[in-house]
Amino acid sequence: MASTPQRPAAPDVSRDTDRDETYIERMDRNWNELLQELRVTQTGAQILTGFLLTVPFQSRFDELDDYQRTTYLVLVVMAALATVLFVAPVSLHRLLFRRRLKPQLVDAGHQFARAGLVALALTLAGVTMLLFDVVLTRTAGHVVGGALLLVIALAWLVLPHLIARRAAADGDSGAAASGPTA
């Protein structure tokens, strides 16, 4: 006889938000919100990957130096990795479907999405760096790639932390206290 998987204790009503929902309802909502985020990022990552896969078939590809070719190959791997990470929650869902593991699925999907965002950020900055390297100079590529990484870090990491900190200081109980399982 198969044993039932262990699940975390589930409160009847969420204590960390003002929503009137059960733990399972919150997990369902979290899963749906995660899927909406993944739809946006999956599409972008897949388009970028597809674009990168066509580059070697362009006539100027033979003009790239060793650094540019190596950078390009690393970017193809990073774009493919981002795509794999963003699609992984779909595979998890298929394999875990109807096993009553929604909390674990939400947590794993969250981790895959975060890792996918890192891979996507590096790919975006790297593609921009390579483009400026080819069109202008290597120095321009490094400056623009580094600047884009900085903008991504500010928009994707720093700003959310500032918003959460401000909400906590203002006493916004729902936004500040809810954390990653809001």
- Contact of 76 with 110, CB cutoff 8 Å: no
Q: Which pLDDT tens digit goes with each residue over 13-56?
A: 444 556 788 888 888 888 788 878 888 888 888 888 888 888 88
Say which amino acid occupies 8: P
Average pLDDT over residues 124-153: 96
Residue 119 pLDDT level (bands cut at 50, 70, 90):
very high
Q: What percent of the chain has pLDDT over 90?
A: 45
Question: Mean pLDDT score of the chain, rounded to an integer?
Answer: 83
Q: What mean pLDDT comes out for the span 125-133?
A: 96
CA distances from 6 to 3, 23, 107 (A): 9, 15, 15
- Closest listed residue to residue 70, CA positions, set 15, 133, 16: 133
